[in-house]
Amino acid sequence: MMSAGSLQIMLNEGQPVAEHRPWRRVVVTAEIWNALLEGLAGGAWTMLGLWGETGMAHLALREDSSETMIVASLPCPDGRFPSVGRIHPPAQRLERTMADLVGLQPAGVPDHRPWLDHGRWPVRHPLGAASPPMGLLPPYRFLPAEGESLHQIPVGPVHAGIIEPGHFRFTANGETVVRLEQRLGYVHKGIESLLNGATIDQAARLVGRVSGDSTVAYALAFARAVEAATETIVPDRAHWLRALMAELERLANHCGDIGAICNDAAFALMLAHCAVLRELVLRASAACFRHRLLMDCVIPGGVIADLPADGVKTIQGLIAEIRHQFPPLVELYDNTASLQDRTVNTGFVRPALIKQFGCGGTIGRAGGRAFDARRQPGYPPYDQLEFATPVLTESDVNARVWLRIHEVEQSLSLIDQILQRLPAGPVRVELSSPGQITEGLALVEGFRGDILVWLRLNADSTVSRCHPRDPSWFQWPLLEAAIENNIVADFPICNKSFNGSYSGHDL
Amino acid sequence: MRKLLFQNLLRSPLTIPAPAPSEAALAELAAKVDQAARKRLGRSLSIREVDAGSCNGCELEIHALNNVFYDLERFGFHFVASPRHADVLLVTGPVTVNMKEALERTYTATPDPKWVVAVGDCGRDGGVFAGSYACVGGVSAVIPVDLHLPGCPPTPMQLLQGLLALLQAQDSSQGS
Ligand code: SF4
């Protein structure tokens, strides 16, 4: 383990990039890059993101002990870079994606299978030196599982419920899952390519649709990255209204998830009641901001519109109603032995794995990792609000349910505080236009975990490159671990307790 | 649990009254409904939802159709797990290139007579994702579509009105 602050010291030797805000981006040599990877593999820091563009690999890191965040960029003129995934497995899928989209090859890895590219697009390396496809890719090779009396169960991409598409390949021994291998990429929409050259308005709409259930959090992360790049100061009231929307989004999703998880244990009563709560949140959101999911309500520079005159009253009414209806549901969950029988000890993920993957959100916090981007690095107005970060260590489905329950209560309290102390004033400003190339980075806590957005703006304020990273990247792989040694029939409830985003991951 | 169930018996239902079917949807359907299909499907429709690359926003609102406010099942609609049991395919998303084949196969697996409802601005023409190398752009570019329900995402009320138009279109021709 390295000493506190060693990330800073290590990067002092690199070339800082001007106009990258609010944290530093540093161009490093292969030597520093390799030293960074060793720190990463040794657990000295956490990977926040890994992405590429032609001739350059970017690695975003966070050192927990010193709370430093940094982007290290390695020039790779020959299109290759020393693989991160080789010594730090959480990077593997991200690297396969870099190879698919940009054409950057991680050197030294055994797994060269494509990830998002299923061999169907009319173009190869769409984010790099785009070229026509080379013809059919060989059929996707799932990892072999050897042993007596094993059988395979392929599921998807089209699933039985109203859920997003993806493929799961189970290897089972009787009822018990020996291995799950995911294959994702079915909903890849080419969002990063669409973002290249987009105006800020167009880009905001696109990033707000990376994962519809987290539209507020994505729009907020994008807005904050743009505002960092352009050094735009957002009015106070906008910060508070953004937090209000973000907590409404968290509330709606957590209510929906608690019900859906219980429903997968055949306890439909919880789903019915939780769905009512969710609907009440969406209706209040629509009454206040004219969109049930609050799409396009957070914009670079502020928020699209102020609360209507009766807005505070509407939301206070909502909070009172949920405070009235929610506790009996919690009690019901707590007192139903047949339900707990399905959730306790099911889908366990080792906390060490959670830490290694930098897995955030309720999955992370239900497994001992206290990280919450609202607190660290933090952003307004959360620095002025009182809230605890609930953390559990059991790391099973039950803990993930309880974490959501605690966060529902937490969001109710946050909304209360916001409504009481909402500052007056304007809710948006014009973005500054620096007239030169600028870069911005933001990390925002969505209901699913921390969302990272990095971008570079051209001198005319169009987007030169933008990379949104969904929390699911560091959660999907852990689902493979969670299901091991569980029975096949418990997969849906494990999966629901994760609720990874396919769209956010596939981009 | 008993307490909760008992309370539910006593309080008035949350379910909204049935809305009128959407005029726009009725107009789009008028030209398309064929008599034989109407007879066979009756007033009960099984729906298979297919996400063909959505951002998942449309799914959230389709889910909401099942909550007690909208209670889709009271109209005879029912979500099923297999296309082989379905009368209606409810398709969302800009149809990603990676989902095109799965969508085609789902369509083929659905027995005739069948309906395809394209949900959302994405389902109509690709929405904000139109023009991407990874999207086909609009459900009708891949399979024949009977009804479009635009919106980003359409609200449960808009979805409900559209689906009711589907029922009405069958009903009105059954008498004729
Ligand atoms: S129409 Fe809107 S909500 Fe629906 S999938 Fe497309 S972007 Fe998402």
Could B98 and A187 be called an inter-chain contact, meaning their C-beta atoms sit closer than 8 Å? yes
Res A331 pLDDT > 90: yes
Chain A residues in contact with B67 (beta carbon < 8 A): 272, 275-276, 278-279
Vertex A220, ends A17 and A55: CA angle to 5°?
35
A207 C-alpha to center of ligand 1: Å? 12
| pLDDT surpasses 70 at A273 | yes
Is A353 a residue whose pLDDT tops 50?
yes
Q: Which of A67-76, A273-282, A374-383, B17-26 has the lowest mean pLDDT?
A: B17-26
Higher pLDDT, A423 or A139: A423
Structure confidence by residue, pLDDT tens digits, A193-223: 999 999 999 999 999 999 999 999 999 999 9
CA distance A87 to chain B (A): 31
- Tokens representing A218? 């994505």
Nearest Cα to Cα of residue B169 among B41, B30, B6: B30
Question: Best mutation site among B62, B92, B117 for ligand 1, i.e. most ligand atoms within 8 A of its Cβ?
Answer: B92
**Is B4 within 8 Å of A279 when comparing Cβ atoms?**
no
Give SS3 for B47: strand
Task: Place B21 in a pLDDT band, splitting at 50, 70 and 90.
Answer: confident
Q: What is the mean pLDDT of chain A?
A: 95
pLDDT tens-digit readout, B119-173: 999 999 999 999 999 999 999 999 999 999 999 999 999 999 998 888 777 666 5
What the block records as the tokens of A424 is: 């007056």
Residue nearest to atom 5 of ligand 1 (CA): B54
Report the pLDDT value the prediction gives residue B165, as an integer from 0 to 100: 85
Closest chain B residue by Cα to residue A206: B128
Give me the pLDDT at residue B38, please. Answer: 54
Give the three-class secondary structure for A468: strand
Confidence at A298, pLDDT banded by 50, 70, 90? very high
Taking only the tens place, the pLDDT of each residue in A135-173 is: 777 889 898 888 888 998 999 898 888 989 999 999 999
Question: What count of other Cβ atoms lies within 10 Å of the Cβ of residue A30?
Answer: 12
Residue A118 and residue B145: Cα distance in Å, rounded?
26
Is residue A235 within 8 A of residue A429, CB to CB? The reply is yes
Q: Are A450 and A444 in contact (CB under 8 A)?
A: yes
Using the Cβ of B128 and the Cβ atoms of chain A, whether some distance falls under 8 Å is answered with: yes
pLDDT per residue as tens digits for the range A98-138? 999 999 999 998 888 999 999 999 999 999 988 888 777 78
| Residue that has been written with the tokens 């907590």 in this structure | A247
pLDDT at A291 over 80: yes
Domains and CATH numbers, chain A: 6-107 (3.30.460.80), 191-506 (1.10.645.10)
pLDDT at A111: 86
Task: Measure the CA–CA gap between A187 and A323, rounded to whole angstroms.
Answer: 37
- Which residues 6+ apart lie within 8 Å of A197 measured at CB? A462, A463, A464
**Above pLDDT 90, what percent of chain A?**
88
What is the predicted pLDDT for the residue at A1?
A: 42
- Please give, rounded to a whole number of angstroms, the shortest distance from the CA of B89 to a CA of chain A: 12
Say what the pTM is.
Answer: 0.95
Ligand 1 centroid distance, CA of B127 (Å): 7
Task: Evaluate if residue A455 carries a pLDDT over 90.
Answer: yes
Average pLDDT over residues A27-50: 95
Are B99 and A215 inside 8 Å of each other by CB? no
Centre of ligand 1 from the C-alpha of residue B59, in Å: 9
Mean pLDDT score, B53-71: 95
pLDDT band for position B40 (cuts 50, 70, 90) = low
| pLDDT at residue number A387 | 96
